[in-house]
Structure 1
Amino acid sequence: MGNKLITFTDQQLVNYQDCTFFTRKDILRVYKKFRDIKPDLIPRVIKGNEAYSIKIPVEYIEELAEFKENPFKRRILEVFSRDAKGNLTFEDFLDMLSVFSEGAPRDIKVFYAFRIYGPEDIDVALTLLTKQELTAEEKQQITEKVMEESDVDGDGKLSYIEFEHCITRAPEFLSTFHIRI
């Protein structure tokens, strides 16, 4: 009974539960995953401001199985990092995994997807989906068609509302904008 290690106080866990879509157990599992990335840098017990001051460098986080093959990994990490360079504190990491969790509502996921992806990513997605079987001209035609259908106001770029409208027509969005812990 007496040798259980306490990583967070009860109040810290309550605060994290209030700010995420996670249970206490999930939060502790996320912390273990975070600590396992670079155990020599991350303490077993969080004290003071360590949850939002100690950062794991982006190159270590990119090596996680969940990101390793993702062509958008750097942008995802930059969006969730306080320093906008992809280096993550525990709180950044927790926020990111919360948004990508099954419990996060669609509107939160759409908001972050809008921050992560841009129109230039249509070309990257086409290349990945077609295994580079399309010519540059074919990709250009598809990109133009997607923009034509999505850009309701015709200003040449997607607003948040236009992006949201496109995403709501993609039934697979919720299942693909997901990271399991």
Structure 2
Amino acid sequence: MGQGSSKLHPDEIEELQAISSFTPAQIKTLYNRFKHVDKDNSGSLTVDEMTAIPELAMNPLCLRIVEVFDSDKRGEVNFKQFVSALSVFSKGARREQKLSFAFKVYDVNGDGVISSSDLFIVLKLMVGSNLDDTQVQALVDQTILEADTIDKDGAISFKEFKRALFGADLENILTIEI
């Protein structure tokens, strides 16, 4: 999509509008930013190129976010994947889309639930060396105890995740300006 080209074609913009909540002008802006980040001009962003984006690099969950962007697990993100994933962070994205993206960040092994090991990995990324493993595990255990309210299976399902984040202001927390 737009590979090797300095401009997107109108039909490409139309296709990207259909899978996102971006305007044509926003898609063009994203394309220019994508091309700037694509240092090797391959038409895809590698993990290294993605993690070099300053706004993403400062997030302790940077690598997890990149893994979620890489929907086909090929180790790179093409422009269509880039737009689709970033659409979750637009003002026009529905709350359910934002919740789904956040859930995928926490569901490290992709099995459809946030297990103790999933949550440990994500929390460890977030706290770094500020807490030792025992303290992180205590946070994990408490979080699962509080969130695992429906089926009490020792893991957090998407339904339980939504319930736990009921009052969270995701519309502002997970929104970026394009």
TM-score (norm 2): 0.78
Q: CA RMSD in A?
A: 2.4
Q: Distance in 2 between matches of 1:135 and 1:76?
A: 24
1:157 to 142, 155, 158: 155
Cα offset for 1:143? 2.7
1:107 maps onto 2:105 in alignment: no
2: CA distance, partners of 1:111 / 1:8: 29
- The Cα offsets for residues 95-146 of structure 1, whole Å up to 9 and x where unpaired, read as 1111122221110111111111142223444x26xx82x5655444333222
Alignment coverage as a number of residue pairs? 161
Secondary structure of the residue aligned to 1:56 is strand
1:166 aligns with 2:164: yes
Larger radius of gyration: 1
Is residue 28 of structure 2 the alignment partner of residue 25 of structure 1? no
Segments of structure 2 that go 5 or more residues without pairing to the other structure are: 108-118
Measured after TM superposition, the shift of residue 7 of structure 1 is 1.5
Calculate percent identity across the aligned residue pairs. 28
Q: 1:122 to 1:174 in 2, by over 3 A?
A: farther
Q: 2:81 is matched with which residue: 86, 92, 108? A: 92
Moved more, 100-109 or 6-15: 6-15
Q: Distance in 2 between matches of 1:39 and 1:137?
A: 41
Q: 1:105 to 1:141 in 2, by over 3 A?
A: same
The equivalent position to 1:117 in structure 2, one of 102, 106, 109, is 106
Change beyond 3 A, Cα 1:155–1:82: closer
Contact 2:21 2:92 in 1 (8 A): yes
Q: Tell me how far apart the structure 2 counterparts of residues 39 and 143 of structure 1 sit (CA, whole Å).
A: 39
Question: Closer, same or farther in 2 for the Cα pair 1:6/1:41, shift >3 Å?
Answer: closer
| Unaligned stretches of 5+ residues in structure 1 | 43-53
Alpha carbons of 1:22 and 1:55: their partners in 2 closer, same or farther (altered >3 Å)?
same
The normalised TM-score by structure 1 is 0.77
1:143-163: CA deviations, max 9, x gaps? 322211100121111111001
Cα deviation code 1:48-79 (max 9, x no counterpart)? xxxxxx32211011100121122221221122
User: What residue number does 1:65 align with?
Assistant: 54
- Structure 1 residues 78 and 86, CA, compared in 2 at 3 Å: closer, same or farther? farther
CA distance 1:170–1:82, shift in 2 (3 Å):
closer
